[in-house]
Amino acid sequence: MSEPGKTKFQVDLRRHLRETGVEENLIHLICEIAEASKYIIHSIRTGELGVAGTSNLYGEQQLALDVLADRILRKRLDHSGVVANMMSEEMDQIIPVSPDWEGKYSVAFDPLDGSSLVDVNLAVGTIVAIFPGYNLMRPGREQAAAMYILYGPRTTLVYSVGDGVFEFGMNNLMEYTLLREHITLKPKGSLYSPGGVRNQYTPGVESYVSSLEKRGVKLRYSGGFVPDINQVLLKGEGIFLYPHLKNLPRGKLRLLFELSPMAYLIEQAGGAASDGKQPILDLMPNDIHERAPVFIGCKEDVLLAEKMLRTHEGGPAAQPEKTRTVKKSA
Ligand code: AFP
């Protein structure tokens, strides 16, 4: 990871996006989301922690902060002028914004992932998937961009538009300035974040986690997807898993606005993200709130998980690397 020079270090988000040739509407969208984060920070620091009284479609009590963060982002996206459709974890349907979708983007977001951690003062985040055009129900590989904002001891923003992963930090003027560029993961890590309750692990997952422990890999798990993924990304190593469980066969995390954006960022950093059988980014969502198991982080650690699940739980054998037959030109 190259340490940016002094001038690069002072580059703010909009200037960086311009200088890297990102399309104008996408620049505007990413910057609008960055702006919204300032109001979300304010609501976290000062907001009521009480329950909003409403509940989302999972029957979970919506914390006032969840609802507030959702409203802040929806309003920003609504008025941005560059959004066709949007979808939030807190909503039960896709929200149309503009029928004229040409040159616009559709956004799926988790406004405040891990919100239940705020009242114990742990880090939380906003996760955003950005697709070109009007259609959100497509594999994550088709994203135009993915980003997250981490509200921790420092507020940081990580994004990719498909040309590497970049981290920005919020300075005392509440501007995001460049901290790291082209963040990359090692092939194998020495930390793991095992989600779910251990006695609900299936045989394949149990043997995988035991193999990590035998290897002396350190356990690091905060209960927040954003800080836990951020740790893997910025330490340049590690694996996060929230697997299929005996009591949760599809795992816990949502494909559209949690797994797809994070898988996009981790793959851009040279890592991998799988549901245990295939890349997360190749999954076609059938339902807006579809969940999927996830193994995400260093590529070798993810491939080992897939191998152990095949051994212990069956499933499609690994396809031999297709040898490309080059047609001889006539
Ligand atoms: P909440 O948004 O309901 O707090 O859940 C957070 C989360 O979806 C994700 O951020 C964590 O990785 C995962 O749940 C933690 O789940 P467990 O509490 O079951 O470990």
Q: Is any atom of ligand 1 closer than 6 Å to the C-beta of 113?
A: yes
What does the pLDDT look like over 66-96, one tens digit per residue? 899 999 999 999 999 999 999 999 899 999 9
Among 180, 199, 215, residue at a domain's last position = 180
* 148 in Cβ contact with 265 (< 8 Å): yes
Q: Is any atom of ligand 1 closer than 6 Å to the C-beta of 243?
A: no
**R_g over Cα of the chain:** 20
Q: Is any atom of ligand 1 closer than 6 Å to the C-beta of 295?
A: no
238 occurs within a structural domain: yes
Helix segments in the chain, DSSP class H: 6-9, 13-19, 24-46, 64-78, 203-214, 225-235, 260-268, 299-313
* Judgement on whether residues 220 and 299 belong to the same structural domain of the protein: yes
Average pLDDT for 36-44: 93
- pLDDT computed for residue 49 by the predictor: 58
CB neighbour class for 208 (10 Å; exposed up to 12, middle 13-18, buried from 19): buried
SS3 52: strand
Per the structure block, which two tokens stand in for 21?
């040739």
Choose one of 61, 242, 254 to mutate for the ligand 1 pocket test, by most ligand atoms within 8 angstroms of C-beta.
Answer: 242
User: What CATH code is carried by the domain that includes residue 266?
Assistant: 3.40.190.80
CA 59 to ligand 1 centroid distance, Å: 15
6 occurs within a structural domain: no
Residue 34: give the domain boundaries: 13-180
Q: Please tell me the distance from the alpha carbon of residue 252 to that of residue 248, in angstroms, as a whole number.
A: 7
SS3 278: coil
Q: Is any atom of ligand 1 closer than 6 Å to the C-beta of 159?
A: no
Per the structure block, which two tokens stand in for 126?
């906003």
User: What CATH code is carried by the domain that includes residue 40?
Assistant: 3.30.540.10
Among 180, 213, 244, residue at a domain's last position = 180
CA 115 to ligand 1 centroid distance, Å: 9
* Judgement on whether residues 82 and 134 belong to the same structural domain of the protein: yes
Among 180, 213, 241, residue at a domain's last position = 180
Average pLDDT for 280-304: 97
Average pLDDT for 97-110: 96
Nearest CA to ligand 1 atom 15: 223
Q: What is the average pLDDT score of the chain?
A: 91
| Residue for token pair 């029928």 | 99
What pLDDT band is residue 326 in, cutting at 50, 70 and 90?
very low
Q: Is any atom of ligand 1 closer than 6 Å to the C-beta of 225?
A: yes
Number of domains making up the chain: 2
